[in-house]
Amino acid sequence: MLKVGILGGGQLGRMLLQSAANYPVETFVLENDENCPSAHLCHHFTRGDIRKFDDVYRFGKGLDAIAIEIESVNEQALEKLEEEGVAVYPRPAALRIIKNKIAQKEYYRERNIPSPDFVITRSPDEVKQYASFLPAVHKLAEGGYDGRGVQVIRSEKELSKAFPAPSVLEKMVDIYKEIAQIVAIDQQGGITLYPPVEMVFDQELNLLDYQLSPADITDDIKARVEAISLDAVKGLQSAGIFAVELFLDRKQNVYVNEMAPRVHNSGHHTIEGNYSSQFDMLWRIILGYPLGNTAEILPAALVNLLGEPGHNGDADYQGLPEALQRGNVFIHLYGKRQTKPGRKMGHATILGENKETLINEAHALKQIIKIRTKK
Ligand SMILES: Nc1ncnc2c1ncn2[C@@H]1O[C@H](COP(=O)(O)OP(=O)(O)OP(=O)(O)O)[C@@H](O)[C@H]1O
Ligand SMILES: [Mg+2]
C-alpha cells in the first residue's frame, strides 16, 4: 500500500481522508492541533508545524507521496523530499509560484494570462505613490486566507488601510460574477475539467454565501473560462488538483483572480453532485489510476455553515432534522468542537433540477441550520 501524507488537518484534509478509505492507501497527517478535523480519520497522526522545515521533512521522509490541503507549508522541505524521491502534489516549484501573490501575479503577466493589472508594494509609503491606481485591492503577498489579507482601498482617504508588508495592489474589477474552475491533471499530463461554478458572496463577512454548479454563463464565456484556466494550470507543470478563481466583469472580460494547487472549497459539491468528486479524483491521480468522470449528476448549490454571530464556545448544531427532511440535502460537519462567529463549521449541498429551486433552498437552509453554543 502506498503511504501518503497530507500537510494540514482541516476540513479539506478530512474530506480527502473520507475518500481515501475507498482505496489501498495508508494515510498520514501532519498538523499542530490534535483535535483538528482530520485527526481521527487518518491512519497515523503526527503533531507538528507544517511551516517548519524539520517537522515537514521528518514527516515526509519514508512516505511515497505528499499532498497539501493549505498553501502555507514549508516548501524547502518539500523540495528536498521531492529530490529524494517522494512524489509531491503539487510540485514544490508550482507551490512556490502560487504561495506568494507577487510571484503568482508575475507568473500571469509572463504567460499573458488575463488577470487584473497590478503593482507591487513593499511598504505603506509606496502604496501612497499609487493614488492614481485607485480604486484597488491590496493583497498581502503571503499568509492571507478566506479574505483576511485582502483590503479594498477605494480612495486616497483609505490609504491608511494598506498592509505594512510586501503586497500586490490590484486594480478593482467591476465584478459581474465570480467563477471557479477545477482542473485535474494526472501523472502522464492527462487533463480533465469540472463544470465551472459560480459564487455569490456575503458582503459583510467577505465569505462565500452560496455557490451554484454549473455556473450560469454563456457557452462563449464558459469556453474562455476553460481555456484561460487550462493555460494557467498547464504552465505549473505539475500533476494534481487545481482550482482557478476567475472574475467575469460587466463587459464580459474574464480574468484569473488566483489559483490554489489543491482540493478547494469551490469543489465541495462534487462529493454528491458529480460522478467523481475532487477528492476521489486526487486519489486517482496520486495512486496512478485513470482520471474519473467530472460530469455532473445534477445541478448543485452549496451553503457554508458558519458559526452564528455572538456565539463562542462548544458548538451546538440546530435544525439538522428539519434540513435533512428536505429533498436532496446533504450535511457535512467538519468536526470542529469550538464555534466562533463566522467560522466555517461545515457545509450543506443541495441537488436539484433548476437554479431557482437551488437558490430558494440555499436561502431556506441558511435560516434552518444554526450553529450556536450549547446552553
Ligand atoms: N481585483 C479585484 N477587484 C474586485 N474584487 C476583488 C479583487 N480581488 C479580490 N476581490 C474580492 O476579494 C475576494 C478575496 O480575494 P482573493 O481571492 O484574492 O483573496 P483570498 O484571501 O485568497 O481569499 P479566499 O481564501 O477566500 O479565496 C475575492 O473573492 C473578490 O470578491
Ligand atoms: Mg480567493
CATH code where residue 279 lies: 3.30.470.20
Do 133 and 12 lie in a common domain? Answer: no
Domain co-membership, 266 together with 313: yes
Distance 22 CA to ligand 1 centre (A): 35
Tell me, using a 6 A CB cutoff, whether residue 317 lines ligand 1: no
Residues 233 and 214 in one domain: yes
Determine the distance separating the centroid of ligand 2 and the alpha carbon of 7, expressed in angstroms.
20
Q: Compute the distance between CA of residue 206 and CA of residue 236 in angstroms, rounded to an integer.
A: 29
Q: Looking at the CA of 143, which ligand is closest?
A: 1
Whether 150 is in the pocket of ligand 1, judged by its Cβ within 6 Å, is: yes
Q: Is residue 140 part of a domain?
A: yes
Average pLDDT of the chain, as a whole number: 95
- Phi first, then psi, for residue 233 (nearest 5°) are -80, -40
Domain of residue 68 covers 2-89
CA distance 357 to 352: 7
**Closest Cα to atom 28 of ligand 1:** 147
pLDDT tens digits, 294-320: 999 999 999 999 999 999 999 999 999
Q: For ligand 1, say whether the CB of 144 is within 6 Å of any of its atoms.
A: yes
Beta-bridged to residue 2, according to DSSP, are: 25
> What's the whole-number mean pLDDT along residues 338-356?
95
**Residue 147 Cα to ligand 1 middle (Å):** 6
Looking at the predicted structure, is the pLDDT value of residue 345 above 80? yes
- Cβ burial, residue 14 (10 Å; 0-12/13-18/19+): buried
Give the Cα-Cα-Cα angle 191, 105, 278 (nearest 5 degrees): 30
The residue whose grid cell reads 498538523 is 31
In a shared domain, residues 237 and 323 = yes
| Residues 253, 358 within the same domain | yes
170 lines ligand 1 (CB under 6 A): yes
Q: What is the 3-state secondary structure (H, E, C) of the chain?
A: CEEEEEECCCHHHHHHHHHHCCCCEEEEEEECCCCCCCCCCCCEEEECCCCCHHHHHHHHCCCCEEEECCCCCCHHHHHHHHHCCCEEECCHHHHHHHHCHHHHHHHHHHCCCCCCCEEEECCHHHHHCCHHHCCEEEEECCCCECCECEEEECCHHHHHHCCCCCEEEEECCCEEEEEEEEEEECCCCCEEECCCEEEEEECCCCEEEEEEECCCCCHHHHHHHHHHHHHHHHCCCCCEEEEEEEEEECCCCEEEEEEECCCCHHHCCHHHHECCCHHHHHHHHHHCCCCCCCCECCCEEEEEEEECCCCCEEEEEECHHHHHHCCCEEEEECCCCEECCCCEEEEEEEECCCHHHHHHHHHHHHHHCEEEECC
Please indicate, yes or no, whether residues 49 and 160 belong to a single structural domain of this protein: no
Q: Answer yes or no: is 110 within a domain.
A: no
In a shared domain, residues 167 and 180: no
Pocket-testing residue among 139, 148, 150, 247, ligand 1, by greatest number of atoms within 8 A of Cβ: 150
pLDDT for position 146: 66
Question: Which of 171, 189, 212 is the C-terminal boundary of a domain?
Answer: 171
Residue 134 lies in a domain: yes
Question: Which cell numbers in the block locate residue 358?
Answer: 437551488
* Nearest CA owner, ligand 1 atom 2: 172
Read off the pLDDT of each residue in 63-83 and give the average, rounded to a whole number. 97
- Residue ending a domain, among 40, 71, 89, is 89
* Region of poorest pLDDT, from 152-156, 193-197, 273-277: 152-156
Residues 76 and 18 in one domain: yes
CATH number for the domain spanning 49: value is 3.40.50.20
CA of 197 to the centre of ligand 2 (A): 14
- The reply to whether 239 and 314 lie within a common domain is yes
Instruction: Kindly state whether residue 106 falls inside one of the protein's structural domains.
Output: no
**Does the residue 99 lie in any domain?**
no
Q: Are residues 205 and 342 in the same domain?
A: yes
% of residues, the chain, pLDDT over 90: 91
Per the domain annotation, does 274 fall within a domain?
Answer: yes
Tell whether 208 and 313 lie within a shared domain.
yes
Quickly state the pLDDT bin for 205 (edges 50, 70, 90).
low
The answer to whether the CB of 84 falls within 8 A of the CB of 76 is: no
327 Cα–ligand 1 center, Å = 33
Contacts of residue 230, Cβ cutoff 8 Å, sequence gap at least 6: 183, 191, 193
- For residue 143, give the CATH number of its domain: 3.30.1490.20
Q: Note whether residue 100 is domain-resident.
A: no
Ligand 1 touching residue 175 (CB < 6 A): yes
**Is any ligand 1 atom within 6 A of the Cβ of residue 64?**
no
Distance CA 301, CA 213 (A): 6
Q: pTM score > 0.85 for this model?
A: yes
The residue to mutate among 70, 257, 258, 265, having the most atoms of ligand 1 within 8 angstroms of its beta carbon, is: 257
**Residue pLDDT, tens place only, 223-277:** 999 999 999 999 999 999 999 999 999 999 999 999 999 999 999 999 999 999 9
| Cβ atoms of residues 271 and 332 within 8 Å | yes
Residues 145 and 187 in one domain: no
70, 89, 108 - which closes a domain: 89
For residue 220, what is its C-alpha cell? 462563449
Distance 79 CA to ligand 1 centre (A): 29
Give the distance (Å) from ligand 1 centre to CA of residue 45. 33
- Per-residue pLDDT tens for 123-144? 888 888 998 899 999 999 997 7
Question: Is the CB of 153 inside a 6 Å radius of any atom of ligand 1?
Answer: no
Query: How many domains does the chain contain in total?
Result: 3
Note whether residue 275 is domain-resident.
yes
